[in-house]
């Protein structure tokens, strides 16, 4: 099995609104999050790669950028109306808190869906690149701090 990992960095704000949560995370705060996208394949492509790293950035960077400098919020938070009226960059999590686990799941499901629907991408110079049908998203790992991460896979 071959695996590759592309790392992205995003800055996010969030807070946890669950009544069961009594930690300091109930207050709005931010994280410098490291996002690891891990692709795997039993075979290499015609370029002797699982996938060109540049293609991961050109193919999925825009989606990941939508999280950057955004406030992540639960749609059922009592503060949702305030944030939706006063913040331009808001990422809503329907009926769930924006934990690192939830962020990892959302990113995984988006990229996995994209890979199932589209195999043709471009690298940074605009030339076409086909991701092999044997490549799959193995997992997404989201670092919340330098010592804590959560990951999602299926």
Q: How many domains does the chain have?
A: 1
pLDDT in tens, 124-133: 888 899 999 9
Q: What pLDDT, on the 0 to 100 scale, is given for residue 142?
A: 98
pLDDT in tens, 44-103: 999 999 999 999 999 999 999 999 999 999 999 999 999 999 999 999 999 999 999 999
How far apart, in whole angstroms, are the C-alpha atoms of residue 139 and residue 150? 10
Q: What pLDDT, on the 0 to 100 scale, is given for residue 50?
A: 96
Q: What pLDDT, on the 0 to 100 scale, is given for residue 28?
A: 78
How far apart, in whole angstroms, are the C-alpha atoms of residue 57 and residue 31? 21
For the question of whether the overall pTM of this predicted structure is more than 0.85, the answer is: yes
Domain carrying residue 58: 2-152
What is the CATH number for 28? 3.30.479.10
Band (29; pLDDT cuts 50, 70, 90)? confident
Rounded to 10 degrees, what is the CA torsion of 82, 84, 86, 91? 120
User: Mind giving me the DSSP string for 62-80?
Assistant: HHHHTTTTEEEEETT-TTH
Instruction: Please name the helix (run of DSSP H) or strand (run of DSSP E) that holds residue 144, with its range, or none.
Output: none
Give the phi and the psi of residue 75 in degrees, each rounded to 5. Answer: -60, -20
Q: What pLDDT, on the 0 to 100 scale, is given for residue 19?
A: 61
HSE-up of 102 (CA within 13 Å, CB side)? 16
Residue in this structure with the two tokens 């490549």, named with its chain if needed:
135
State both tokens at 32.
């410098």
Band (118; pLDDT cuts 50, 70, 90)? confident
Would you tell me how many other CB atoms lie within 10 Å of the CB of residue 47?
Answer: 11
């Amino acid at each position: 099995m071959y695996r590759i990992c592309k790392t992205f960095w995003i800055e996010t704000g969030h807070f946890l609104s669950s009544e069961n949560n009594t930690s300091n995370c109930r207050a709005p705060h931010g994280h410098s999050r490291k996002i690891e996208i891990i692709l795997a394949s039993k075979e290499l492509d015609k370029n002797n790669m699982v996938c060109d790293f540049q293609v991961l950035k050109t193919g999925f960077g825009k989606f990941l950028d939508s999280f950057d400098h955004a406030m992540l919020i639960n749609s059922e938070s009592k503060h949702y109306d305030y944030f939706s009226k006063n913040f331009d960059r808001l990422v809503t999590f329907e009926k769930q808190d924006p934990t690192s686990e939830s962020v990892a799941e959302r990113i995984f499901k988006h990229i996995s869906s994209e890979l199932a629907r589209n195999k043709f991408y471009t690298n940074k110079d605009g030339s076409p690149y086909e991701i092999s049908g044997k490549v799959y998203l193995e997992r997404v790992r989201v670092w919340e701090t330098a010592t804590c991460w959560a990951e999602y896979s299926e």
